[in-house]
Amino acid sequence: MSKINIYDLEPKELTGMLSGPSFRATQVLNWIYKKNITDFKEMSNLPKDYREALEERFFAGALTLLRKEVSLDGSEKYLFGLPDGKTVETVLLKMKEDEYDDDGKKTREARYTVCISSQVGCKVGCAFCLTAKGGFERNLTVGEIVEQVAFIKKDKEFGEEKSINIVFMGMGEPLDNMENVVKAIKIITHKDALCIAPRRITISTSGLATKIEKLANLNLGVNLAISLHAVDDVLREKLMPINRAYNIKSVIDAVRGFKADKRKKVLFEYLLLGGVNDDIASAKKLAKLLSGLDAKVNLILFNPYEDSEFKRPTTEAAEAFRGYMASKKFICTIRESKGIDISAACGQLKQRDKDGR
């Protein structure tokens, strides 16, 4: 019988599988998720024969760290090997530095966001995306999704109380692997597991409208981000073939029905491609399209890679676009290109590793 990865299990499932008193599952989960201990031998408050029995049936962790790069701005990129030899990447973004008062006492901890992957490759095939170039290989398992977060927590020695944000903006389309992503979120948010609040989690999607509706009905309390990137269907179809199945209107309609946290705004991501969609006429159309929606806009500057057919927009074009959206009362930010020196846009470390650089 093959062993079971504990990262694949919701706490109630583990409880159902273990013998002995019901607190055993909580003890095991406490070691794994709170103390970052994955070797059963080290779980010192469990009887020795119990630890041996656990080892026969279970293991915790399927990822192998193949490579890690640290960016000048503090972002870190992890390339993980999977049991079948495939690879996937996870990026830790440092959003804010530690803050100290005049006496050198720390007044605020640095803030981090973990950008996780949901698939090896992606079926959606967006024209600008490096992940798409390699095609689709497979869905990540629940455990492979959960462990990306757990691994980084362990690697960075983040304590139990450390609050981190999670974004599904790594490789893959999360709503195309919805069952595993939803179960992973249940484990990530569970108080006996990673205990990260749903409001700290964002699912980014290329716009699978029917899945957005399903996600809304699950009421997980997570945030939604839509990769819009174009304001008319002709251009969006060229950039994102998924638009043929779900056009802009169907995506916007699905967003209207997304009742996450009523106080929260849905995030629209708009990738600025130099000379393609970064003009003020597009900004005007975008403002019109989103009017009446409780939306905020995040402008992403295209991160070029070797042989990419698109250009990074100029700073002036990006600023003008942002200024127009702000003048129409949208909260509109330009996403800082974190980790650009370690090619932290999705799919890029993996590609470099293949090329042997």
Tokens for 192? 């006996």
DSSP string for 57-82? HEE----EEEEEEE-TTS-EEEEEE-
* Nearest CB to ligand SF4, comparing residues 38 and 343: 343
Tokens for 348? 């890029």
Give the residue from 133, 148, 140 showing the smallest Cα distance to 86. Answer: 140
Give the residue from 35, 335, 10, 62 showing the smallest Cα distance to 202. Answer: 335
Q: Is 115 a catalytic residue?
A: no
Do the beta carbons of residue 282 and residue 313 sit within 8 Å?
A: no
Alpha-carbon gap, residue 261 to 122, rounded angstroms: 29
Determine the 3-state secondary structure of 123 from DSSP: coil
Which range binds ligand SF4 by CB under 6 A, 20-28, 38-46, 125-133, 281-289?
Answer: 125-133
> If binding is defined by CB under 6 A, does position 122 make contact with ligand SF4?
yes
> If binding is defined by CB under 6 A, does position 172 make contact with ligand SF4?
yes
Catalytic residue, chosen from 89, 144, 147, 173, is 89
* Nearest CB to ligand SF4, comparing residues 5 and 90: 90
CB atoms within 10 A of CB 182: 18
Catalytic residue, chosen from 122, 126, 332, 346, is 346
CB atoms within 10 A of CB 60: 24
The binder of 147, among ligand SAH, ligand SF4, none, by C-beta within 5 to 8 A per type, is none
* Separation of CA 31 from chain center: 25
DSSP assignment, residue 88? E
Q: Which residue type sits at 12?
A: K
Site for ligand SF4 in 227-256 (CB under 6 A): 227
Please, which residues have CB within 8 angstroms of residue 113's CB and are 6 or more apart in sequence? 92, 93, 95, 164, 165, 166, 167
> If binding is defined by CB under 6 A, does position 207 make contact with ligand SF4?
no
- Helices then strands, counting H and E runs in the chain, come out as 12, 16
The binder of 76, among ligand SAH, ligand SF4, none, by C-beta within 5 to 8 A per type, is none
The binder of 158, among ligand SAH, ligand SF4, none, by C-beta within 5 to 8 A per type, is none
Binding site for ligand SAH (CB under 6 A): 128-130, 168-169, 173, 204-206, 227, 269, 271, 300, 302-303, 345-346
Among 206, 243, 282, 303, contact with ligand SF4 (rule: CB under 6 A): 206
> If binding is defined by CB under 6 A, does position 173 make contact with ligand SF4?
yes
> If binding is defined by CB under 6 A, does position 202 make contact with ligand SF4?
no
* Nearest CB to ligand SF4, comparing residues 143 and 174: 174
Please name the helix (run of DSSP H) or strand (run of DSSP E) that holds residue 111, with its range, or none.
strand 111-115
Instruction: Output Rg (C-alpha) for the chain, integer angstroms.
Output: 21
> If binding is defined by CB under 6 A, does position 126 make contact with ligand SF4?
yes
Among 5, 87, 113, 131, contact with ligand SF4 (rule: CB under 6 A): 131
The binder of 169, among ligand SF4, ligand SAH, none, by C-beta within 5 to 8 A per type, is ligand SAH
The binder of 132, among ligand SAH, ligand SF4, none, by C-beta within 5 to 8 A per type, is ligand SF4
> If binding is defined by CB under 6 A, does position 342 make contact with ligand SF4?
no
Alpha-carbon gap, residue 47 to 55, rounded angstroms: 13
Least distance (Å) between residue 340 CB and ligand SAH? 10
> How many degrees, rounded to 5, is the angle at CA 167 between CA 161 and CA 171?
130
> How many degrees, rounded to 5, is the angle at CA 224 between CA 220 and CA 225?
160
> If binding is defined by CB under 6 A, does position 344 make contact with ligand SF4?
no
Q: Is 126 a catalytic residue?
A: no
Please name the helix (run of DSSP H) or strand (run of DSSP E) that holds residue 299, with its range, or none.
strand 295-301
Least distance (Å) between residue 348 CB and ligand SF4? 12
* Nearest CB to ligand SF4, comparing residues 30 and 250: 250
The binder of 165, among ligand SAH, ligand SF4, none, by C-beta within 5 to 8 A per type, is none
* Separation of CA 22 from chain center: 33
Q: Give me the active site residues, please.
A: 89, 346
Binding site for ligand SF4 (CB under 6 A): 122, 124-126, 129, 131-132, 172-173, 206, 227, 346
